[in-house]
Chains A and B, each alone.
Chain A
Amino acid sequence: MNYKNIIKSTVAAAMMSLMAGQASAQSSDPIKLTIHDWTGQYVTTHIMGEVLKKAGFNIEYVQADYIAQFAGLETGDLHIAMEMWETTGKDAMDASLKTGKTVDLGETGMDAKEEWWYPSYMKEKCPGLPDWKALNKCAEVFSVPETAPKGRYLGGPVTWGGFDDERAEALGLDFEVVHAGTDAALFAELESAYQRKAPILLWVYAPHWAVAKFDGEWVEFPEYTPECYNDASWGINKDMKYDCGKPFGWIKKVGWKGGEEKWPGAYKAVRNFKIDNDEMGKMIAAIDLDGKKLEDVVAGWMSKNEARWKAWIQ
């Protein structure tokens, strides 16, 4: 027994010493922040990264997929993810938190607005908008041959949830919900329709460059309340849930649990990070629409908000 243990620890020690660079538990190790493929997340992550650098931490940005990153966060290969959206990431995040290897680092202060959206030029073709009750009158306007006579509503990927199929049924909308496979496909359709001034009704969310680039409005559904999603008898349809609009979704930060002990100061700063929709929207627009450089925009924010971020790292 003892003998076996000795061999075991020797082998482990040999492997560890070979892999020394990775395993030494010093806080000068780089904190790995993940970056995904959208601008807003770039901005939040780089602001956080710059702030941590000012606080003397070693930072590394790692390109990682939004969902696949949880595998890395659980094993400690990655450390901080700055934007986990309720609609798109809640399932994966909950599953990960349940393992006990990741930790919820709180909300970013931004609220994700998600709702059915149409370009402004559709108001002429469908005069009652933005009231949802107008939708049924112009279902034909929004229809395509596969869905006719019903209208076509382009929803997010099935993995996003959002209860659009249920919503259409509960509110008696003559619309067929078609799911886009990805965010990119969703906005490719919007861009195409906008170029042609063609009818389109789709899921849009903010903060996002699309709401800055395209002129349009959200459909106004009966306002969301928690009862609407839990209690069938609430609202217009007495027998079904989801007869209302969508709630605002949180955007949270998530981290590797082990980092809490390794870089306590950094984790505290990440928890303190707060930013709001407006300033975020402006920064996204500056980068995506005005073609400014990410570094300059982030540096601009840093110099303007020095008092704020200094408070995060105290």
Chain B
Amino acid sequence: MNATRHSTASSSSTAQRWWAIWAGLLAFTLLCYLLKDSFPWLFKYPRAWTWPLRFWISDFMKWLMNSLDFGLFTFREATRFFSWIIEQPYWVAKSLLSSGFLKGQGSGAIEIFPRLPWVGVIGIVMLMGWKVGGRNLSLLVGACFLYLAAFGQWDSAMTTLSSIVISVPLGVFGGLLLGIQAHRSAHFNQALSPILDLMQTVPVFAYLVPVLILFGFGPVSAMIATIIYAMPPMVRITILALQKVPDEIVEFGKMAGCSSRQLLMKVQLPTAKPAIMVGVNQVVMLSLNMVIIASMIGAGGLGFDVLNALRRLKIGEGIEAGVAITLLAIALDRLSQAFANQPQPAQILTSQSLLQKHPYLLASAGIAITTWLLGLVVPAVQIFPEEWQVSTGSFWGDVVRYININYFDELDAVKNFLLLNIMIPTKRFLLSLPWVAVVIGVSIAGARLGGWRLAMLAGLSAIFIATVGLWPKAMITIYLCGLSVIIACMIGIPIGVAASRNENLHRIVQVVIDTLQTLPSFVYLMPVVMLFRVGDFAAMLAVIAYAVVPAIRYTDHGIRNVPPHLIEAAIATGCTKRQILWKVQMPLALPEIMLGINQTIMMALSMLVITALVGTRDLGQEVYIALTKADIGRGIVAGLAIALIAIIVDRLIGAWSNKRKRELGIG
């Protein structure tokens, strides 16, 4: 009792000290405004002081791409060899699903063996669904693939699928290996963590050109870009899952005389498998999210159809192709989820016997061969007949047109209200802040939440952004993403809470957020531009639509995971439903909700590439300009600035959430 009282007393005096520090910062900021005329550099970082980092990076990249020679072979030869290796399985998948087996290349190629007919593909995926999830899953997967055929998306969808079936396993195994290594070595883990942050937040456009030169222009580069973006969650989840393997099980393995390799393969991985499968799902989702960008660098497929349709403002065609991407994601996701939830064999230590798999493998081969042969005689089996195809035609275009003609003024009034009263003032305020005060502010926040190391990290990151001359664009980024995150949380958290308390709502919400995560933003961005004009408001809507997903998902998940005995205890002490929510569930779910907010921020920042497309003037635009000017260094520096904003926010929120956890005694 005494100890508690002491600590509260000392923490209240610490709190006072911190208030004094914050008041000092405020006074300093006001002083800056007073001295604005004599010391303009407090506000505007002088161009002459800018650090020429981007030129150094450009030179380094040129050297890496053109000159680096290991003696036996050059760096580029090595990377090209690597991409040749990846190309081989891709070629098999593509021949099987999309192009057919060809002799020769280009228009001179001769088909020696046709691709798998659409009937065969649907048959095989339905069989897979049946095996891992029963009749319902089989029908769901079949329906998703039937949509691809019926809406005339088959060819593009199979092109996309052939790169997905290669890049997803590569991402999964790469992530698994890195995760295992990080689990074994703390040093490796420490070095890996910031790299994962960079992989997730530096926009692809920033490093696109070097990747294209090193790995060649085509599907392989697209797959590599996809893997870079989609792999980090897999690594993180693997590390977490291995840490969570109960010590007793590991001890038991050791007592049984396992070598460390056996321990990993036979004990740790099988036990962690259900958790690891969550990572697989994330790889699937994020890989399909990259389809648009992949199509810009030679992967073709559905992403290209979306871009092409919207370039011609064929909203309906864009939606049809976009929905095809979403359905492909849902089919693959549900299959992998069911695979993870399959009943485990009774003994964890023995893997499933191969014999059990045989009937399905044989049946799949049977379907393939039968439909192949049938396809030679009946063309409709080989290629979905054009006259059976359906389309939404001009329906979606007409919907947008109707809203545009009848409700534009009302929508415009809402937009103008928000823009003039909230968005523009926020933007002006952030742009007017003296950068020196902001740097000090984030350092103080770092010191308060996580000690001097965090203070250094946050302060130096902020200084970096100022010294490379990107301060105003960074402020616009923070304004746009910050407001979007606040609104996304205000919408997402209540929905998450509601979904956690109602099964039906939960199921509907699940489909909606999966759609938001995989439907290319471009599909809804163009209608948004039609209704709200280009500019920050349209950009903000697009960011919110994408970033709201984790806010919903993690809140829902967090509240559901509150241990039932605590809720029973609350009921026993006579709490009302409302009290249970506010006094038990919300506080206990807070760490998960915080993780959701953190992911919301990450997603908002990763949308910057898209916001540049509707004319915002943030760091995303800087990356985009650098791409069109073929300026590698400029793009990478701007990408790093985005990543540093993400890292500052992530570490601050992480530190805050750890502090809360300790205070609640659940850390």
Q: Residues on A close to B: CB < 8 A?
A: 4, 7-8, 11-12, 15, 18-19, 21-22, 28-32, 37-39, 49, 53, 58-60, 62-65, 67-72, 74-75, 77-78, 88, 91-92, 95-96, 144-146, 154, 157-159, 178-189, 191-192, 195-196, 198, 209, 288
Q: Type the 1/0 row for B624-641, where 1 means its CB is closer than 8 Å to any CB of A.
A: 110111110000000000
Residues of chain B lying within 8 A (CB to CB) of residue A30 = 105-108
Given A184-B310, A184-B526: A195 in contact with B405 (beta carbons within 8 A): yes
Question: Contact: B298 with A58, CB < 8 Å?
Answer: no
Chain A min CB distance to B400 (Å): 8
> Are A183 and B311 touching (Cβ within 8 A)?
yes
Contact in complex: A179, B615 (CB < 8 Å): yes
Binds A, one of B119-127, B179-187, B364-372, B531-539: B531-539
Most buried by A among B104, B404, B530: B530
Known contacts being A181-B616, A188-B529, A188-B530, is A58 close to B217, with CB within 8 Å? no
In the complex, the answer to whether A189 meets B530 with C-beta atoms within 8 Å is: yes
Shortest Cβ distance from B91 into chain A, in angstroms? 10
Q: Contact check, B630 vs A15: say whether CB atoms are below 8 A apart.
A: no
Q: How far is the CB of B591 from chain A (nearest CB, A)?
A: 37
Distance, CA A61 to CA B308, complexed state (A): 15
A7 to B107, CA, bound (A): 38
Q: A8-B71, A59-B106 are in contact. Are A181 and B312 (CB under 8 A)?
A: no
Assess the B526–A188 pair: CB atoms within 8 A: yes
B106 touches A31 (CB 8 A): yes
Interface string of B95-113 (1 = CB under 8 A from A): 0000000001111100000
A58 contacts B613, C-beta separation under 8 Å: no
Asked if B446 is an interface residue, CB under 8 A from chain A, the answer is no
Determine how close the nearest CB of chain A comes to the CB of B139; give it in whole angstroms.
34
Q: Which residues on A sit within 8 Å (CB–CB) of B405?
A: 195-196
User: In the complex, what residues of B have CB within 8 A of residue A154's CB?
Assistant: 534
Which 9 A/B pairs are nearest by Cβ-Cβ distance?
Answer: A30-B106, A72-B217, A71-B212, A60-B106, A65-B296, A192-B530, A77-B217, A58-B108, A181-B613
With contacts A192-B530, A195-B401 taken as known, whether A37 is within 8 angstroms of B629 at the C-beta atoms is: no
Residues facing A in B41-87 (CB within 8 A) are 71-73, 77, 80-81, 84
B307 contacts the other chain (CB 8 A): yes
A8 touches B72 (CB 8 A): yes
A218 CB to closest chain B CB (Å) equals 21
With a cutoff of 8 Å between Cβ atoms, the chain A residues found around residue B300 in the complex are 62-63
Interface contacts beyond A92-B628, A146-B416: sample of 9 additional A-B pairs, CB < 8 Å, sorted by A:
A59-B106, A65-B296, A68-B212, A71-B212, A146-B424, A180-B534, A188-B527, A188-B530, A195-B405
- What per-residue 1/0 map shows which CB atoms of B594-617 lie under 8 Å from chain A? 000000000000000001111110
Q: Which residues of B contact A196 (CB under 8 A)?
A: 404-405, 408
Residue of A nearest to B415 (CB): A145
Option from B84, B408, B627 in Cβ contact (under 8 Å) with A68: B627
CB contacts (< 8 Å) of B77 on chain A: these are 12, 15
A-B contact pairs, 9 of them (CB 8 A): A53-B107, A58-B108, A67-B628, A71-B208, A71-B213, A72-B298, A74-B213, A180-B614, A192-B529
Hey, which chain B residues are within 8 Å of A181, CB to CB?
Answer: 534, 611-616, 621, 624
Q: How far is the CA of A180 from the CA of B534 in the complex (A)?
A: 6
Contacting pair A18 B84 (CB below 8 A): yes
A184 touches B311 (CB 8 A): yes
* Residue B216 interfacial (CB < 8 Å): yes
CB distance from A301 to the nearest CB of B (A): 18
**A8→B73 contact, CB < 8 A:** yes
The answer to whether A195 and B404 touch across the interface, beta carbons within 8 angstroms, is yes
Complex-state Cα separation, A219 to B138, whole angstroms: 60
List residues of chain A with CB within 8 A of the CB of B308.
Answer: 37-38
Chain A residues within an 8 Å CB radius of B416: 145-146
Q: How far is the CA of A91 from the CA of B625 in the complex (A)?
A: 11
Q: Could you tell me if A15 and B614 are in contact, using CB atoms closer than 8 angstroms?
A: no
Cβ–Cβ contact A69 & B217, under 8 A: yes
Assembly CA distance A11 to B614 (angstroms): 49
Shortest CB distance A129–B (Å): 22
| B491-525 interface code vs A (CB 8 A; 1 in, 0 out) | 00000000000000000000000000000001001
The answer to whether B30 has its CB under 8 Å from any CB of chain A is no
Say if the beta carbon of B489 comes within 8 Å of chain A.
Answer: no
Our pick among B80, B218, B533, B631 for the contact of A144 (Cβ within 8 Å) is B533
Q: Hey, which chain B residues are within 8 Å of A74, CB to CB?
A: 213
Per-residue CB contact flags for chain B residues 300-335 toward chain A (1 = under 8 Å, else 0) read 100010011011110000000000000000000000
B167 interfacial by beta-carbon distance below 8 Å: no
Alpha-carbon separation in the docked complex, A209 to B311 (Å): 10
Q: Are B534 and A185 in contact (CB under 8 A)?
A: yes
**A19 pairs with B80, CB closer than 8 A:** yes
> With the chains together, A281 CA to B405 CA distance in Å?
29
Which of B71, B299, B408 interacts with A4 by CB under 8 Å?
A: B71
Q: Tell me the chain B residues, 212-232 only, with Cβ under 8 Å from chain A.
A: 212-213, 216-218
Closest to B91 in A: A21
The answer on a CB contact under 8 Å between B72 and A159 is no
Would you give the shortest CB distance from B622 to chain A, in whole angstroms? 10
Contact A159 B311, beta carbon cutoff 8 Å: no
